[in-house]
Chains A and B, each alone.
Chain A
């Protein structure tokens, strides 16, 4: 088939990100040609500031080398400015005489520094700060001249000023407003920032309007004069008063523009063959000047270029950081104070310690914030802001940061900055901080997924993802945007977990192929991430009706044993409540002898583990054992740990052992989003460790206390108190209802703690405690789902067809 022709105008960050996204999902449908008027391949414009500050070199910041274009069969024309689009014949023409035909055209022409109409602005030595050439010009000027004036005290201006100072110049920043960064900071933070920058040797002139730039006889700038009459010496003037979307080309081709190239939510211009992304566009009236929104646009645009016809760009909330080493500043959202409309402010100000934090809250949600001096919680606040997360439960601690909440959430500790390069970040894959930082810089990584892919850090148990995120944020500065928590299930679909669950329910999908077809899966049969999730969602939504697909289960659940590093398996029989008998122990001992089991071990969950069993021996061994499966391998009910309790213990107030047995029997065979562990202790001494279980139950004189959302694993989480009930029947009903709602609503691979983290304990209480009908109905649904469940080991002992997969074919 003849490939379509895609032409990209603008070889910058947004355009090339779109191409990268496109290559990922549809590598073969286009012949791609790229025109860029700069003489370089795509580079990381953000990093021009570190280059000017001598922290990096131009070579460090190239994102896509010429070899990359060649390897992806992309025709690259550098130093080639497009000055005409012939929409009728679908051809673009470059100033240097080159031309190219297109079927689809992508405009990504970025923006230009705004040069205000001040007399003298055309003199030598008056320039903007936008590209490599500007940066080189500044560095050259610094070698020859002394006095630099930066007009405009915004982010770009301050980074330029800081860099020029480091290049050895005397720098004065001129700003029209009363304080710096007035768009990002309130006055208090703005003044603190100014003080810190003054300490670094920068000079400031605030509330000044530039009237005139004077030149010398060589035509080079010599001084700058303000409206109040003050005049200062200047050999170099940098204009950083704003940027203007670069849409002249689009406009000259008759494409509708209004302060930017107007695009719809699918990133199409008024000519449907022509797309636009990046700083040059006006989307819903807004033009963005930061990379995070541009990358979101790129993703959406790529899906449409790939003909998937999915994905809408709905605008972005942005956050900013200032990339001046030694200064920590973060701001996001709407932070102006305006008490009339129900806004509340929380402010923490330590003038001596140089820390200032302000959060703006409206309707129980964070809508904006400024952090100065200590920005470690910036990503955390920003994430809550983007997700619109209710905050009343943590409001008391909000200001003191994520660490003050104890261990809630797997978002990691704020220690990235304090770590040395040799310190290990990812224990699973042995990746240290230096490796991650280097990968981010050398390979131009922007997202956690990129870092996971390239370095493997965070790709296994996930406990270090929070730390990786901080390293990413501190390495990238403002270029980092935390992912929203409602992301797609995997690369096979745009839909997130909640959307998938909802569609399975409304369309009543009963098997994976129908579900994938109905929801427009991009891949013929998914991947190792989405298939297990889909299988679980089908089974939990339509018990007894949906078809279980063993091939979509992880090996352990497929063969009902836990795979070991050498390909052997472990066998853990059920011992309800951790109680066993002499007879069971004898059987286990015999089996261990007969099959020469290399290790017999008592587990942390109070069961017995036979380790190192060959796959082909499993079925025979189960037949000899004649005990039920302990499900120690499944995303399922695991163990109910118990203590001795009132039957024997001198402190016991309740029969915890019996209740544990009853629970384990009642909920046996239960699949869940992740493993589910219970514990029952007979008194508050809590010998069964109920405080770190998904459901922990503690006997007290007058009944039972129920705790939920505990976790003893990767990150220890104490369970939270749910309620107190009188009888064992009530324990079953309340905890069963809790687990059922978790089964129906949590994302696959969420432990209970992660689910509660997201929906809030209030929500759980409301469904399980306050709404008795809801509780009873949920409990009923759980019992219905478990009705007639078949014990898997016995089933395989009986059924030859099922046991075939355990046989090895000898040749």
Chain B
């Protein structure tokens, strides 16, 4: 069953920036690229759990704020030579509002 939740109006997420969404179970980083694509990933760096939402967004990647691992926002994969992956979540924009699909 799909479980879409409202995040925020698009303009509340800065371009090349992020906002944090917290549910009971999980914290998710919701990222906005320069071209307004929106991606959401588990807000925990596969390295030592750094909050990815606080990193620098460039292209479609995020550089973790703690030790600069680079992670693709598109598929959650860590850039070489590091290895790891963080979970991705579906997003959509409807009428200027960003939504996120939580897994149940």
Partner pick for A563 among B16, B34, B66, CB 8 A cutoff: B66
What residues on A are CB-neighbors of B58 within 8 Å? 523, 525-528, 531
| CB pair B57 A551 closer than 8 Å | yes
Residues on A with beta carbons closer than 8 Å to the beta carbon of B74: none
Is residue B73 within 8 Å, beta carbon to beta carbon, of the partner chain?
A: no
Whether, in the assembled complex, A200 has its beta carbon less than 8 Å from a beta carbon of chain B, the answer is: no
Q: Mark A774-811, 1 if CB is under 8 A from B, else 0.
A: 00000000000000000000000000000011001111
List the B residue with the shortest CB-CB distance to A512: B16
Chain A residues whose C-beta falls within 8 Å of the C-beta of B66 in the assembled complex: 563, 565
What B residues does A531 contact at CB under 8 A? 56, 58
Q: Is A388 an interface residue (CB 8 A)?
A: no
Would you call A524 an interface residue if the criterion is a C-beta within 8 Å of the partner chain's C-beta atoms?
A: yes
- A809→B59 contact, CB < 8 A: no
Q: Are B55 and A525 in contact (CB under 8 A)?
A: no
Q: In the complex, what residue of chain B is closest to A530 when comparing beta carbons?
A: B58
Q: Is the CB of B81 within 8 A of A811?
A: no
In the complex, A531→B100 CA distance in Å? 29
On chain B, the number of residues with a Cβ less than 8 Å from chain A's Cβ atoms is: 35
Known: A531-B56, A565-B48. A811 touches B14 (CB 8 A): no
B23 / chain A contacts, CB cutoff of 8 Å: 810-811
Does B17 sit within 8 A of A, measured CB to CB?
yes
* Per-residue B-contact encoding for A521-561, CB less than 8 Å = 1, 0 else: 00111111001100000000000000000111011001100
Chain A residue at minimum C-beta to C-beta distance from B20:
A808
CB distance from A615 to the nearest CB of B (A): 8
Q: Find out whether the CB atom of B22 lies under 8 angstroms from the CB atom of A453.
A: no
Q: Are B81 and A453 in contact (CB under 8 A)?
A: yes
What's the nearest-Cβ distance from chain A to residue B78, in Å?
Answer: 13
Tell me, in angstroms, the Cα distance from A558 to B65 when the chains sit together: 12
Q: Is A567 an interface residue (CB 8 A)?
A: yes
| A809, B55: Cβ atoms closer than 8 Å | no
In the assembly, what is the distance between CA of A524 and CA of B49, in Å?
28
Q: Is A460 an interface residue (CB 8 A)?
A: yes
Taking CB atoms, residues of chain A closer than 8 Å to B81 are 453-454, 456
Contact between B102 and A523, CB atoms less than 8 A apart:
no
Question: In the complex, which residues 23-71 of chain B have their Cβ closer than 8 Å to any Cβ of chain A?
Answer: 23, 34, 48-51, 54-59, 63, 65-68, 70
Evaluate contact between A523 and B59: CB separation under 8 angstroms.
Answer: yes
Per-residue interface assignment for chain A, residues 168 to 206, with 1 indicating a CB less than 8 Å from any chain B CB and 0 otherwise: 000000000000000000000000000000000000000
Residue of A nearest to B70 (CB): A528
Contacting residues, chain B, for A810 (C-beta < 8 A): 21-23
- Expressed in whole angstroms, the Cα–Cα distance for A523 and B70 within the complex equals 15
Point out the residue from A454, A524, A558 that lies within 8 Å of B34, measured CB to CB. Answer: A524
Interchain CB contact under 8 A, A552 and B7? no
A563 touching B22 by the CB < 8 A rule? no
B57 proximity list for chain A (CB < 8 A): 551
The answer to whether B12 and A804 touch across the interface, beta carbons within 8 angstroms, is yes
Contact B14 A567 (CB under 8 A): no
1/0 contact string of B59-101 vs chain A (CB within 8 Å)? 1000101111010000000001100000000000000000010
By a CB distance below 8 angstroms, the chain B residues around A552 are 16, 56
- Is the pair A551, B15 in contact by a Cβ cutoff of 8 Å? yes
Cβ contacts under 8 Å, A550 to chain B: 14, 17
Q: Which residue of the partner chain A has the closest CB to B64?
A: A528
- Asked if residues B67 and A528 are in contact (CB atoms below 8 Å), the reply is no
| Shortest beta-carbon distance from B59 to chain A in Å | 6
Given A555-B55, A563-B66, A811-B23, also A525-B48 (CB < 8 A)? no
Q: How far is the CA of A550 from the CA of B67 in the complex (A)?
A: 20
User: A809 contacts B16, CB within 8 Å?
Assistant: no
Residues of B within 8 A of A460 (CB): 67
Evaluate contact between A563 and B56: CB separation under 8 angstroms: no
Q: How far is the CA of A559 from the CA of B21 in the complex (A)?
A: 18
Neighbour of A811 across the interface among B16, B22, B63, B70, CB < 8 A: B22
Chain A: which residue is nearest B52 at the CB level?
A567
Beta-carbon contact of A551 and B59 below 8 Å: no
Is there an interface contact between B17 and A551, defined as CB atoms closer than 8 Å?
A: yes
Chain A nearest CB: distance from B32 CB in Å? 10
Distance to closest chain B CB from A570 (angstroms): 14
Bound Cα distance from A527 to B16, whole angstroms: 11
Instruction: Give min CB distance, A801 to chain B, whole Å.
Output: 10
Residues A809 and B19 in contact in the complex (CB < 8 Å), given A453-B81, A454-B81, A524-B59: yes
Least distance between B58 CB and chain A CB atoms (Å): 5
Binary per-residue interface labels of chain A (564-575) against chain B in the complex, 1 for a CB within 8 Å, 0 otherwise: 011100000000
Known: A523-B59, A525-B59, A551-B16. A811 touches B54 (CB 8 A): no
Interface members, chain A 442-467 (any B CB < 8 Å): 453-454, 456, 460
User: Contact at A567–B51, with CB atoms within 8 Å?
Assistant: yes
**Within the assembled complex, what's the spacing in Å between the Cα atoms of A559 and B54?**
9
CA distance A565 to B64 in the complex (A): 12
- With beta carbons under 8 angstroms apart, the residue of B5, B6, B48, B65 that contacts A555 is B65
Nearest neighbor of A532 in chain B, beta-carbon distance: B56
Q: Which residues of A contact B34 (CB under 8 A)?
A: 524-525
Which residues of the partner chain A approach B67 to less than 8 Å between Cβ atoms? Answer: 460
Shortest Cβ distance from A526 into B: residue: B58
Most buried by A among B5, B6, B58, B100: B58
Instruction: Contact check, B14 vs A809: say whether CB atoms are below 8 A apart.
Output: no
Partner of B14 from the list A456, A523, A524, A805 (CB cut-off 8 Å) is A805
How far is it, in angstroms, between the C-alpha of A523 and the C-alpha of B56 when the chains are bound?
Answer: 15
Q: Is the CB–CB distance between B55 and A811 below 8 Å?
A: no
Contact pick for B20, options A456, A551, A809, CB 8 Å: A809
Contact among B5, B56, B102 for A551, CB-based, below 8 A: B56
Q: Which residue of A lies closest to B43 (CB)?
A: A567
Identify the interface centre among B6, B12, B102: most chain A CB within 10 Å of its CB.
Answer: B12
Report the minimum CB–CB distance from B26 to chain A (whole Å): 10
For residue A808, which residues in chain B have a CB less than 8 angstroms away from its CB? 20-22
Which residue from A528, A551, A567, A811 sits with its C-beta under 8 Å from B68? A528
Q: Would A528 and B63 count as touching, CB distance under 8 A? A: yes
Residues of A close to B59: CB separation below 8 A: 523-525, 527
A567 (CB) vs chain B CBs: closest residue: B51
Is B10 engaged at the interface, CB distance under 8 Å to the other chain? no
- Is A811's CB under 8 angstroms from B56's CB? no
CB pair B55 A528 closer than 8 Å = yes
Query: In the complex, which residue of chain B has the Cβ closest to the Cβ of A429?
Result: B67
Residues of A near B6 (CB, < 8 A) are 811
Q: Which residues of A contact B54 (CB under 8 A)?
A: 555, 558-559, 563, 567
CA separation between A551 and B55, bound complex, in Å? 9
CB distance from B82 to the nearest CB of A (A): 8
Q: Give B96 Cβ to nearest chain A Cβ, in Å.
A: 16
- In whole Å, how far is B75's beta carbon from the nearest beta carbon of chain A? 17
Contacts of A551 in B (CB 8 A): 14-17, 56-57
Measured CA separation A558–B56 after assembly (Å): 10
A531 to B81, CA, bound (A): 22
* Contact status of A811 and B5, CB under 8 A, knowing A453-B81, A454-B81, A528-B68: yes
With a CB–CB cut-off of 8 A, which chain A residues contact B48?
565
Q: Which residues of A contact B (CB under 8 A)?
A: 453-454, 456, 460, 523-528, 531-532, 550-552, 554-555, 558-559, 563, 565-567, 804-805, 808-811
25 contacts between A and B (CB under 8 A): A456-B81, A523-B58, A524-B34, A525-B34, A525-B59, A526-B58, A527-B56, A527-B59, A528-B70, A550-B14, A552-B56, A554-B56, A554-B65, A555-B55, A555-B65, A563-B51, A804-B12, A805-B14, A805-B17, A808-B20, A809-B8, A809-B19, A810-B23, A811-B22, A811-B23
B residues with a Cβ closer than 8 A to A are: 5-8, 12, 14-17, 19-23, 34, 48-51, 54-59, 63, 65-68, 70, 80-81, 100, 102
Shortest Cβ-Cβ A-B pairs, 10 listed: A528-B63, A528-B56, A567-B51, A551-B16, A555-B54, A555-B65, A811-B5, A809-B21, A527-B58, A811-B23
Given contacts A551-B15, A551-B17, 4 further A-B contacts (CB under 8 A): A531-B56, A805-B19, A809-B22, A810-B21
